[in-house]
Structure 1
Amino acid sequence: MAETPITNPKKRKTLHDFFPPDQSKRGPKVLKDALGALTNTCISGLTIITNFMSSVEESIALEFLSRQPWRTDLARRVIHYGGTYCLMPPRTATPAERKMIESNILAADPIPSQLTFLLDKMVAQELYDTDRRPGYCIVNEYTETQGISAHVENFRFGEPVCALTMGDGDFMRFHELVKSDDGSVRSGKAAKAERTGRKRDVWLPPRSLLVMRGDARRKWQHEIVRGKKGRQEGWKRTSLTFRVEK
């Protein structure tokens, strides 16, 4: 009597069935941890927390910011909270006018109560201590062709530096430096910082929080590339960068 062929043989289990291989060693650029954060494994110290805020919270924050006074002396609109700043002289300014404008130091308002819920969220995520919350925030609004030059946040500020994305998502480009350098864009020193040639583009989803510590904070410049690539008509990203005193 002929044997009936086995059409669905039971697969024999291997060691991998009981001890799955470490997925983190397979090379994905982004890994998800238990807190719901996305950690970019290419840049040490860089973390992205997705869905850091709800869409309702985002709408409320954007509506509040739309009613505030903005700086318009730059290519993009900017608001400062905490600390001091000075305006950018126009290209047509004479040396005397430039000196006068740059010597006029303006005091920024503190972070308004309408935005402190974001600080509460960062404390809840254990990014900052309750008694050491960020006192500085720069709001940047980017439209279709706008960006910001590569730079490292001033070393007078501590860690982490956190950047919240609202509105449309975008890529942030990182450039590795040979050594830590916080030369500013305004002074021209940021452009002269020596790079290794390594660069990485990191996607910032809407309502995500970028967290920079260690090398990501000190040895990688970050920028938003100017241009329309990947941006549709009406595209707009509002970024809030939070910094804390050392």
Structure 2
Amino acid sequence: MGLPRFTRPKEEDGESSPNLYVANCGPAVGLSFDTIASVFSTYGEVKGVYEADETGTRVIISYSEESSAQEALNALDGHPCPDLNGRYLHIRYSVLQPHCQVNHLVPVSLVASELNIPGVYLLHDFVTAKEEEELLAAVDERPWKSLSKRRVQHYGYEFSYETRNVDTKRKLGELPSFVSSILERVSLFPDLDGAANMILDQLTVNEYPPGVGLSPHIDTHSAFEGSIFSLSLAGPCIMEFRKYSEGPSKPASSTSKNLENSDDSSSFLRRAIYLPPRSMLLLSGEARYAWQHYIPHHKVDMVKGSVIKRGPRRVSFTLRKVRTGPCHCAFPQYCDSQR
């Protein structure tokens, strides 16, 4: 699920609400969510501050009590607020839409150990800001292939989104020199079944515009070996994970928007982690073979009570080792080779 969604209250519901729609207020006008929360907490307990839309100039203030919202509206609507750079605020009541209740949100972990998923590792600041800039410049000098919602580049072997596999007989060449330092640094990860010593030979570069994510999937077992490395550049995102007890209802390598939008969480386990720019994620073992991973199609994400806006672009470098034979993993119910 995404962030909680708010709308104006219906006339039959009355005008009162614990939530306020506040215009001329937000990150785009130089006001942080912490500053906004601090000012509005003068009138009562603030449960959260959310972006009302994509402009960054309107927010939703959610109070624990309706009386607090009413007091804040009466005090601040149409008046300059000295503690918010003297801005004139325009405030109306707002209500939470029933189908987007906050308690449906998945708690987002900041470190991999909080996920309780064997085989997930995350290293922050895997590359420096300068290296990030150089990597982005390197791919921007090369041609992109446009998909329906994002752009990609393939190196080593081309990944087919139709078959969700690679043709091992059609090698594109060696990996580009601009990822040499990344390949050397992979040894910083724990050596899990030789993961750190694996000779990676396939690179997919994905560029995600704001609001574009990735549908739920497990990378095809027969296509790649047991460790997948993904470097996040330029912008942050949330990655979510799902594990179905009896295996997915569709082939494990398939993608499905129905899975992403489903609210029936009784049939699977669900986890989420925040991927900041310049971080490297490793999926190995159970995390790679048995858990679907995906990126929700959001423009903002909720992380530990804070709203984090995605950047104008996010670029990921996914490094893998192409498999030359069938997969013999310990998760046959998710494995295309063993089904």
Query: Which bin holds the TM-score, normalised by the shorter protein?
Result: 0.5 to 0.7
- How do residues 65-84 of structure 1 correspond to structure 2 at under 5 angstroms? 65-84=139-158
CA RMSD, Structure 1 to Structure 2 (Å):
3.2
Identity of aligned residues (%): 26
Whether 1:184 aligns to 2:253 is yes
**Structure with the higher fraction of residues in helix conformation:** 2
Range that drifts further, 72-81 or 38-47: 38-47
Structure 1 residues 176 and 70, CA gap change in structure 2 (3 angstroms): same
- How do residues 36-185 of structure 1 correspond to structure 2 at under 5 angstroms? 38-86=112-160, 108-125=172-189, 128-130=195-197, 132-156=198-222, 157-179=224-246, 183-185=252-254
Give the partner amino acid of 1:137: L
Q: 1:126 Cα deviation (Å)?
A: 5.3
Structure 1 residues 234 and 169, CA gap change in structure 2 (3 angstroms): closer
What SS does structure 2 have at the residue aligned with 1:64? helix
Count of residues paired in the alignment: 195
Structure 2: gaps (5+ residues): 1-107, 163-168, 302-307, 324-339
TM-score under structure 1 length normalisation: 0.68
- Which structure has the higher relative contact order (CA within 8 Å, separation 6+)? 1
TM-score under structure 2 length normalisation: 0.50
Give the partner amino acid of 1:241: T
- Please tell me whether the aligned partners of residues 166 and 206 of structure 1 are also in contact (alpha carbons under 8 angstroms): yes
- Please tell me whether the aligned partners of residues 200 and 321 of structure 2 are also in contact (alpha carbons under 8 angstroms): yes
Q: 1:245 Cα deviation (Å)?
A: 3.6
- Please tell me whether the aligned partners of residues 83 and 136 of structure 1 are also in contact (alpha carbons under 8 angstroms): yes
Give the partner amino acid of 2:177: S
- Please tell me whether the aligned partners of residues 45 and 213 of structure 1 are also in contact (alpha carbons under 8 angstroms): yes
In the alignment, which residue of structure 1 is the partner of 2:320? Answer: 243
Structure 1 residues 71 and 168, CA gap change in structure 2 (3 angstroms): same
Give the partner amino acid of 1:121: R
Structure 1: gaps (5+ residues): 1-27, 32-37, 89-104
- Please tell me whether the aligned partners of residues 110 and 274 of structure 2 are also in contact (alpha carbons under 8 angstroms): no
